[in-house]
Amino acid sequence: MTVAENDLAARARGAYERGRRRWALARGAAAAAVAAVALAGCPAPAAPAACAVGLGVLVAACLWRGGAWARGARLGFLAGLAPCLLPAAARAIRICNGSMCLTLPTVCLTGGVVAGLLLAWMGLRPPGRGDRRFWLAAAAAAILAGATGCFTAGLAGVGGMALGLLAGAAAPVLAARAA
């Protein structure tokens, strides 16, 4: 290759990487915006907002990296939407009155079970099966998305979501190992 060809190849690679970064940042910002819907009616939005921002950064980084990281982040984000948005839906339909709501941890537990089942069901399929990068990205995205919604119920909500996530994921994983 000549110097001009090398320069052209380097410029093309740089343009490709800049475009990929912009694409990933736009999707990360969209993920954070979707998760931020969970803040509607939240009495203390600081911790949930930090989780939404962290989710956006994580999704952008994983999508930019590509491969198993991107597949895991997409699945984790989708799975995490249940515990993320169910508490806001419960507040919207006025299941809760006042600043204390004793039903929100149960809602978070239910959302966590749904997220865990989805993660295990989709994650045990061949593209992600056994890949640690996939599972790390999927778990991190699901936890951050779920925590965005469940932090509105306090630590009991986050704990319920985490227990539900583990319980939901355990059954399909154990069944797959037994088969």
Question: What mean pLDDT do residues 134-153 have?
Answer: 91
> How far apart (Å, rounded) are the C-alpha atoms in residues 26 and 41?
26
pLDDT of residue 44: 79
The H-assigned helical ranges of the chain are 3-36, 46-65, 67-92, 104-123, 132-150, 154-178
Q: 104 phi and psi, to 5 degrees? A: -60, -40
Q: What is the mean pLDDT of residues 55-84?
A: 95
- Kindly indicate the confidence band of residue 41, based on its pLDDT and cuts at 50, 70 and 90: confident
**166 has a pLDDT exceeding 60:** yes
Instruction: Return the pLDDT at 78.
Output: 95
**pTM score of the predicted model:** 0.85
Torsions phi, psi for 150 (to 5 deg): -85, -15
Q: Which two tokens stand for residue 179?
A: 């088969």
Q: Where are the domains of the chain?
A: 3-178
Count the neighbouring beta carbons within 10 Å of the beta carbon of residue 26: 12
For the cut 60, the answer to whether the pLDDT of residue 98 exceeds it is no
> What's the whole-number average pLDDT of the chain?
87
Distance CA 161, CA 154 (A): 11
